[in-house]
Amino acid sequence: MCGIVAYIGQREAYPIILKGLKRLEYRGYDSAGIALLNDGLKVYKKKGKVANLEEELQGKDLHSNIGIGHTRWATHGEPSDRNAHPHRSASGRFAMIHNGIIENYAQLKQELLSKGYVFHSDTDTEVLLNFIDDIQKNNDCQPEEAVRIALKRVVGAYVIVLLDQENPDTLIAARKGSPLVIGVGKNEHFLASDASPIIEYTKEVVYVNDYEVAIIRPDELILKNLGNERQTPFITKLDMELAAIEKGGYDHFMLKEIFEQPQTIFDCLRGRLDATAGTITMSGIEKYADELVNTNRIVMVACGTSWHAGLVAEYIFEELCRINVEVEYASEFRYRNPVINKGDVIIAISQSGETADTLVAIENAKNQGAIIFGVVNVVGSSISRASHAGAYTHAGPEIGVASTKAFTAQLAVLTMMALAVAKKKGTITEQRYQTLLKELEAVPEKVSKLLKSVDGIKALAEKYKDAEDFLYLGRGFNFPVALEGALKLKEISYIHAEGYPAAEMKHGPIALVDETLPVVFIATRDSYHEKVISNMQEIKARKGMVISVINEGDEQSISLSNDVIIVPEADEVIAPMLSVIPMQLLAYYIGVARGLDVDKPRNLAKSVTVE
């Protein structure tokens, strides 16, 4: 959660930090703040979005060449001016921003209270800052040493950036469990939670590792571990363009990202899938081919939309590879003391590559002898570095909080992985293999065709925008699409929605059905189609409003539906990559019709880096 940004160099810090906060606002928008060294240490912060802070600072003297900024997703303490970051230490010397949760903050706070410290917020961040302040004063040590001593006592996750008014040419940063990227310029450095605030200024970055402390000056970057041993910064080049994080003429990032899917799916397949040659080339699969072919068990570990991608992949891997697959919520998996056997394969799925629960889950499984594959979007992310192997989805930056293009890219990667393993294992016929390669290669063009006919979905959004509840039903490969459709609607429109396997409707949810309830059926032609038709008839008999997502020419479904959405036909293994597109669009247009901020839905943040 939370977005952090900082600058030190020769430029004006405020415009860089403000623009960076706007780009990081998808990580949290409960409050925002900035600290600058300008004739002393000045801290400005405001409840609400970054725009509120910007308005508050109109006309102020904000000249400074060093500063830190923060946009918050509230954990400890309600959204308010007083709980907004940056926080200032009791001595007034330091200001600090923080992303993460300090789990033993209560114990530290009691120690500080007994020494006479007074707190002005409800946050764990102010506790950590004053703990650092106390260590520095009592030991008369350098701030970097105080940070190292403090962090040895800290339990939890953090990225911190410290601004010291007595050292106006130095920033101190540290991380454990939350992301930190440092951009390297000429006599300047940029710090941020991800690369989006940095790419406008430099493409050379350093990804800070866990338990590292960074001492940053305009012309110097020093990395040390908590034992005060110097580490060598590894500079990498960003493969990202500025246009990728701008709206490009679309009203919202979410709509832009939905419409980018023909290209992002193509980019995901490019260089890997060659249907003409009949090949899939994935280095991670090839490196661990024996382990994948011989494993008795695959566990997909993910959260949210990525968990739904894992559910689709469960059907695909079991169908094509004949391997037992389990799909786990990372938050449950990490605490349940699961049985992990040596040789088990864990596939961690995460858009950001920083999801806290997923990261801890795979570290635990790794320690028990499992092979870890990462399916992530963000290059250099923590999960990608913690994995033995894996595949990037190449979806590009996803700014809208509700995931769209990342989901279809994950499905593309997971489908290719399953096909590659099935081919090596001999559990798929050559004809079926070739057919699915061609089907997968055709997905970008089919998605492009589907996106040319959104007017009908806009009309449905207007028709159903005032509904109080929705039910989404699907079977087989399309059951997870029903779950994803319900999640998108909840996230974007705040309408209560539930997704179920269509056959489970009779085991309880059918009690909700009346003439006011829209029921969305994912009913493309597959081996479950006749069964779904029967479920549709049961809803129709109880006067439910049936919205069906179907293929062209499905007259039986049309006769049972109040409204239909047509999607291109595809093999049932591939179909979810197409049937999910209308679910994304319906949620988007309903959210817009209800006058909501679809890019920044309430209470949510993009990258869940805290528990």
Pairing of strands 563-566, 545-550: parallel
Within 208-309, strands assigned E span 212-217, 220-225, 230-231, 235-237, 273-274, 279-280, 297-302
Question: What is the H or E stretch that residue 595 is in?
Answer: none
Question: What is the H or E stretch that residue 125 is in?
Answer: helix 124-139
DSSP, residue by residue, 173-201:
EEEEBS--EEEEETTEEEEESSSTTTTTT
Which among 47, 109, 256, 606 is annotated as catalytic?
606
258-452-239 Cα angle (round to 5): 35
- The burial class, CB within 10 Å (0-12 / 13-18 / 19+), for 563 is middle
Rg over CA atoms, the chain: 25
Q: Are 546 and 560 in contact (CB under 8 A)?
A: yes
Which among 2, 268, 303, 321 is annotated as catalytic?
2
In the residue annotation, 2 being an active-site residue is answered as yes
Question: What is the Cα–Cα distance from 602 to 324, expressed in whole angstroms?
Answer: 38
Distances (CA, A) of 111 to 108, 117, 329, 517: 5, 9, 37, 56
Q: Is the sign of the CA dihedral 245, 246, 249, 253 positive or negative?
A: positive
> 210: which 2 tokens?
């866990």
Torsion over CA of 77, 82, 83 and 88, rounded to 10 degrees?
A: -130
DSSP, residue by residue, 47-90:
ES-HHHHHHHTTT-----SEEEEEEE--SSS-SSTTTSSPEE-T
> 609: which 2 tokens?
């880096």
Edge-first strand listing for the sheet containing 31-37: 41-47, 31-37, 66-72, 3-8, 188-192, 181-185, 204-207, 235-237
What residue spans of 295-392 are helical by DSSP H?
Answer: 304-321, 330-333, 356-367, 382-386
Question: What is the Cα–Cα distance from 499 to 307, expressed in whole angstroms?
Answer: 14
Pairing of strands 297-302, 171-176: unpaired
Q: Largest Cα–Cα distance of the chain, in whole Å?
A: 80
- Amino acid at position 455, single letter: D
> 346: which 2 tokens?
């864990």
SS3 (DSSP) at 334: coil
In the residue annotation, 606 being an active-site residue is answered as yes
Which residues are known to be catalytic? 2, 606
